[in-house]
């Protein structure tokens, strides 16, 4: 899935420098927010402090998240 670093809805462009790969789940959380906001929100969700969304179970355990 392709995601814009600065969302088009907030003045971003669909160019190589403003685009990157994203998981569908992460992209749904980010929406039209900034990348920094989305990183904090994903960390909160994964730590059980998220608002509304819950972390989806995974078959690959992890102990650290570098976001």
Domain spans, the chain: 1-67
Give me the pLDDT at residue 67, please: 62
| Sign of the torsion formed by the C-alpha atoms of 33, 53, 43 and 50 | positive
Q: Which 3 state secondary structure label does DSSP give 34?
A: coil
pLDDT value of position 62: 58
Summarize pLDDT for 16-63 with one digit per residue, the tens.
Answer: 898 888 888 888 888 888 889 988 988 888 888 866 666 565 556 656
21 pairs with which residues across the strands? 2
């Amino acid at each position: 899935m392709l995601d814009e670093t600065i969302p088009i809805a907030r003045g971003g462009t669909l160019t190589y420098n403003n685009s990157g790969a994203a998981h569908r789940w992460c992209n749904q959380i980010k929406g039209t927010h900034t990348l920094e906001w989305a990183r904090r929100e994903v960390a909160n969700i994964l730590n059980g402090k998220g608002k509304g969304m819950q972390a989806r179970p995974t078959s690959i355990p992890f102990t650290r998240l570098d976001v």
